[in-house]
Structure 1
Amino acid sequence: MMSVQITSAIPLVFLIISGFVVEGGWNVNYSPKSICALNVSTVTMGCTYTYPSGYVIVKTLWSTELVEGNQEPSDISLDAEYRDRVEYLGDKQSNCTLILRDVTEQDQRKYYFRFITNTATGKWQGQDGVQLFVTDLQVETPEEVVEGDDVTLTCKTTCNLTGPSYIWYKNGVSLSSTTKALNLKTVSSEHAGSYSCAVLGQSHSSSAVILDVRYAPKRASVSITPSGEIVEGSSVTLTCSSDANPPVQSYNWYKEKTLLGKENTYIIPNISSEDSGEYKCKSTNQHGSKYSSVILNVMYPPKNVSANPPVQNYTWFKEGGTSPVGSGQTYSFTISSSSSGWYYCVAQNKYGSHSSALSVILKARVSMIFYIVVGVCLTVVVVLLSGVFWTRRKLRDDLPEEPMLKQENIYSNVTARATSSDPASNLDMTNQDVQYASVVPQQHTYPRKAEGPVVKAAVSGPVEESEYATAQHQHHQFIEKDCIQYASVKFTCNGPASRCVGLSLEDSLVIYSSVK
């Protein structure tokens, strides 16, 4: 703000006393007849007087009384209230000028000049006198000022000062304005403060007046106690503050759209990771509202699938072992028969650790070769049964009716081992009498190994039935538990018409896992 310094001599207000002219030349002239003076300022009352020639002036005086006849008014120069403040600048010729210093409202009245000559009848007093008005300065402001308004401050007096220049002060610092009115455009809280005014060149100024600018909350903020990192399990206090005039009347705390509280503080005891997020405080007074926010970042040790700060190291263990088997977020290993079991991952940051378990199960996957072998065997069985049925029908058609009746109840059971590879054991359906056979391939069961889980694989073929013969396909069964080892399945079967060649089925292993 620019300060303007103006120097000027202290103006003196001259009061020229105008009297009235009377016969013989007796008069007193006052000019002007009325003066408006600033409180504690100095005024000068100028006047002139005349009298007839031949008279000698013996005494002159100023008085606040107007008398008639031979009465004598009091002389203010002898009055205790005026004695130290008045100075007569006139003479005993024609000048009757008077100076009155440090005028106050008590000095507000009329003043008269009187002179006395050397004769008993040679006395005269100017009857019009000089009217003195004393005023103070007062800053006038609007009753209420709201931010954004245009405001005018006025340096007010009770009488009209003659051509003065004014100076304005804010908080004791002079402003650039020199007019009676100080205009403030679009006021804000920055315009609030103490204002006073003075007349340029006078030491006296008005009493200071506070310009109170009302405004909605602004510069709102949220503070966190205690400061620093927020650790899960601690107690946290959020405090909302803002600059507002009048002060904030209500507070509202929100997390997302949920209302949490209505005080300027919000306390979260035993804070957890679920309390992380953005918190908003709404400050309100009669002129508006303001939001402020803060983000809580709660630190916690690893748990479930998250940690804050992030996990610093991972360590892998296998159930039954005491030493780590690996490190890092990913653990890779070559699958073998001993790979089954529980694996534990321990995740750790500076606030703690958390472990999770993973179960590895090895399970054999049946390959396409196995299905081909099974299909071939089933086809052989169907062909076998079809051949037997066709041969029987042909022989029955060729035999006489009576022998056929005799042989009706003749049956023969032939059991063939699936593992037999001797072609001689095959039935020669063309050279023998027709027999009705039930062909049952031997069933093989692969036992579970003692040291570990066993792979269970089940292969079953369809069962063909007819009036005379039943063929049952060999079953290979694998007993399955939680963990599966490598499986090698060999399947062999023999039949009257053809034989199944033993095939070896080996398949890759599949890893199944579950996380707890």
Structure 2
Amino acid sequence: MLYQLSHTGLFKLSWTADPGSVPRHPTYTNPTYIWYKNGQNVQDNSSPMYSISSEDADSYYCAVKGHNGLSSPAVYKPKTTVSVSPSGEIVEGSSVTLTCSSDANPPVQSYTWWYKKNGGDYQSMTGPQHVFNQIQSSDSGEYYCEAQNEMGTDRSSTINMDVKYDPKSTSVSVSTSGEIVEGSSVTLTCSSDANPPVDKYTWYKKNGASLTGSEKTYNFTTISSEDRGEYYCGAENKYGHLNSSSVSVDVQYGPKNTSVSVSPSGEIVEGSSVTLTCSSDANPPVDKYTWYFQNKTFQNGFGQMYNISKFKSKDNGHYHCEAWNGRGSMNSTALMISLPGKQTSVMNAAVGIIVVVLVLILCLSGLMWFRKKSSKSISETRDTSENVQGDSSPVYDNISGMAMAPTATQTAATVVQDDVHYASVHFSRFKIQEVPLYSTVQLHQPQKQDEDVQYDAVKFNCPSYANRPTAAQAAEEDSSVLYSTVNKP
């Protein structure tokens, strides 16, 4: 027994009996056809045709009344399903096949796939299979298929294609799009597209080690100038890791570490050119400098450098500068700049004092030695006292920086000569009276009215050999005087 299905506005099911399928018997001269829908009798008809609409498409079959076991096979619309291969997680880059299958009688005539990727509009393609050679994250979305035969069309259930992939498009954003000022709060945020989502973040400062923290955000509670630089982050999930490009964090602050330097850096020569330079760390850079001399502002002193074309003694003093930008200002420490003359005079005075002290030590040592030797030769002195009485000429020793006592002409010449240091030691013996023994040490300075004069004088009084008393008398009558005088302006 065969069946036919035709469509002319309505679905028409017709029974066509094979001549040999129905026994030749009087009873079957005018057979009755019984139609069933989903197993239930819906019509007894002498006509082998049964008309239905497309909305009534279902499972149908018919039988011939009185003929046991003689019935048509059932006809029905497709029953459609979708399968995915391989099963399990779908990882980006792998090969994936979607298959649409359907149980239908008569067989399915066409398959149509419908899909919507990442929230877009539905699109379609035909065929029982849809193959992805290297599936991408962009292929994620909703998929279903439809199968159609003469009995109707059936739609499968929808599957969600969830493609797994490692982090992509990792980037860093700054909480503020405006200027970052020192002392403010700043937050950096790391963003990345990943499936499954990123489960670990790592923060880095360019040209530095990794920072503490594995969260999506990195916070500066009070940002400082030391925090300026370039930052980037790394995003990681079970499928991979990806670093972002770097973002610049430009922290603005007022001038810091302001200082003054001088050029040339060596000894300053009178009349030479001297340049002062003001340096300061600031962001934005310093746009105004002010110069001060002895805490008073210079006229026209507003550049980073200040030049003194001919340096003179009147320019000796303390210099400092002030640096200013839109975020604040800062003064440098004062720098003392002077010609070396004053400093040389001080050094010469110190050297002179040292020389005086050394000469005094030598004179005292000589005196002690002389007194000791004199006490041992008292008896010899008495025997020769008469011979000594007639000799009243002074005995002296002159130690000097010059070959003879300075004349008036030589004294004037010393004004333009180097300093002269000399000492004179005189010893005199007289018949009766005590003759002073003295040493004079004088530090000679250039003959300038405003220069300091420093000298030292030491005098010793000793009795002559002829009139030396006894040891007891010497103890009582020794009137030697040792003194030193230092005069300063």
Residue 142 (structure 2) aligns with: 194
Q: Aligned partners of 1:444 and 1:137: how far apart in 2?
A: 128
Residue 137 (structure 1) aligns with: 80
Instruction: Identify the match of residue 252 of structure 2 among 299, 304, 318.
Output: 299
Residue 225 (structure 2) aligns with: 273
Letter of the aligned partner of 2:100 in structure 1?
C
Q: Structure 2 vs 1, CA of residues 419 and 124 (structure 1 numbering), >3 Å: closer, same or farther?
A: farther
Residue 169 (structure 1) aligns with: 114
Q: Do the aligned partners of 2:64 and 2:70 also contact (CA within 8 Å) in 1? A: no
Q: Aligned partners of 1:161 and 1:267: how far apart in 2?
A: 68
Q: Structure 2 vs 1, CA of residues 357 and 161 (structure 1 numbering), >3 Å: closer, same or farther?
A: farther
Q: Do the aligned partners of 2:110 and 2:148 also contact (CA within 8 Å) in 1? A: yes
Residue 353 (structure 1) aligns with: 329
The Cα of 1:329 is off from its aligned counterpart by 0.7
* Higher RCO (CA < 8 A, seq sep 6+): 1
Q: Do the aligned partners of 1:314 and 1:346 also contact (CA within 8 Å) in 2? A: yes
Matches within 5 A, 1:100-179: 101-102=54-55, 111-115=61-65, 123-124=66-67, 127-132=70-75, 135-141=78-84, 142-158=87-103, 162=107, 164-171=109-116, 172-176=121-125, 178-179=126-127
Q: Deviations over 1:384-427 (max 9, x none)?
A: xxxxxxxxxxxxxxxxxxxxxx99x97455675546327xxxxx
Residue 363 of structure 2 corresponds to residue 420 of structure 1: no
Q: Deviations over 1:201-221 (max 9, x none)?
A: 866432321110101111122
Q: Aligned partners of 2:442 and 2:422: how far apart in 1?
A: 10
Q: Do the aligned partners of 1:193 and 1:210 also contact (CA within 8 Å) in 2? A: yes
Q: Do the aligned partners of 1:48 and 1:96 also contact (CA within 8 Å) in 2? A: no
Instruction: Identify the match of residue 237 of structure 1 among 175, 187, 195.
Output: 187
The Cα of 1:113 is off from its aligned counterpart by 2.2
Matches within 5 A, 1:327-476: 327-333=302-308, 334-364=310-340, 411-412=395-396, 416=404, 418=406, 420-421=408-409
Matches within 5 A, 1:60-139: 60-63=33-36, 75-77=41-43, 92=47, 95-96=48-49, 99=52, 101-102=54-55, 111-115=61-65, 123-124=66-67, 127-132=70-75, 135-139=78-82
Letter of the aligned partner of 2:82 in structure 1?
V
Q: Deviations over 1:134-184 (max 9, x none)?
A: 5432332232111111111111334687363322222153344x2211011
Question: Higher helix fraction: Structure 1 or Structure 2?
Answer: 2
Q: Aligned partners of 1:460 and 1:77: how far apart in 2?
A: 152
Q: Aligned partners of 2:88 and 2:38: how far apart in 1?
A: 44
Residue 261 of structure 2 corresponds to residue 316 of structure 1: no
Q: Structure 2 vs 1, CA of residues 195 and 55 (structure 1 numbering), >3 Å: closer, same or farther?
A: closer
Q: Aligned partners of 2:445 and 2:74: how far apart in 1?
A: 135
Q: Do the aligned partners of 2:321 and 2:331 also contact (CA within 8 Å) in 1? A: yes
Identity of aligned residues (%): 34
The Cα of 1:294 is off from its aligned counterpart by 2.2
Q: Do the aligned partners of 1:458 and 1:476 also contact (CA within 8 Å) in 2? A: no
Instruction: Identify the match of residue 213 of structure 1 among 163, 167, 173.
Output: 163
3-state SS in 1 of match to 2:323 = strand
Which stretches in structure 2 are left out of the alignment for 5+ residues? 258-279, 345-389, 424-439, 452-489
Q: Aligned partners of 1:224 and 1:138: how far apart in 2?
A: 50
3-state SS in 1 of match to 2:285 = coil
3-state SS in 1 of match to 2:313 = coil
Q: TM-score, normalised on structure 2?
A: 0.58
3-state SS in 2 of match to 1:327 = coil
Residue 237 of structure 2 corresponds to residue 285 of structure 1: yes
Question: Higher strand fraction: Structure 1 or Structure 2?
Answer: 2
Q: Structure 2 vs 1, CA of residues 181 and 271 (structure 1 numbering), >3 Å: closer, same or farther?
A: same
Which stretches in structure 1 are left out of the alignment for 5+ residues? 1-17, 19-28, 33-41, 67-73, 79-87, 116-122, 368-405, 423-440, 447-456, 464-471, 479-486, 489-516
Q: Do the aligned partners of 1:62 and 1:111 also contact (CA within 8 Å) in 2? A: yes
Residue 258 of structure 2 corresponds to residue 258 of structure 1: no
Q: Aligned partners of 2:413 and 2:81: how far apart in 1?
A: 122
Q: Structure 2 vs 1, CA of residues 222 and 64 (structure 1 numbering), >3 Å: closer, same or farther?
A: closer
3-state SS in 1 of match to 2:189 = strand
Q: Do the aligned partners of 1:316 and 1:327 also contact (CA within 8 Å) in 2? A: yes
Q: Deviations over 1:244-264 (max 9, x none)?
A: 111111222233213321211
The Cα of 1:268 is off from its aligned counterpart by 0.5
3-state SS in 2 of match to 1:354 = strand
Q: Aligned partners of 1:281 and 1:179: how far apart in 2?
A: 45
Residue 502 (structure 1) aligns with: none
Letter of the aligned partner of 1:137 in structure 2?
T
Matches within 5 A, 1:2-13: none
Q: TM-score, normalised on structure 1?
A: 0.56
Q: Aligned partners of 1:442 and 1:323: how far apart in 2?
A: 43
Q: Structure 2 vs 1, CA of residues 157 and 199 (structure 1 numbering), >3 Å: closer, same or farther?
A: closer
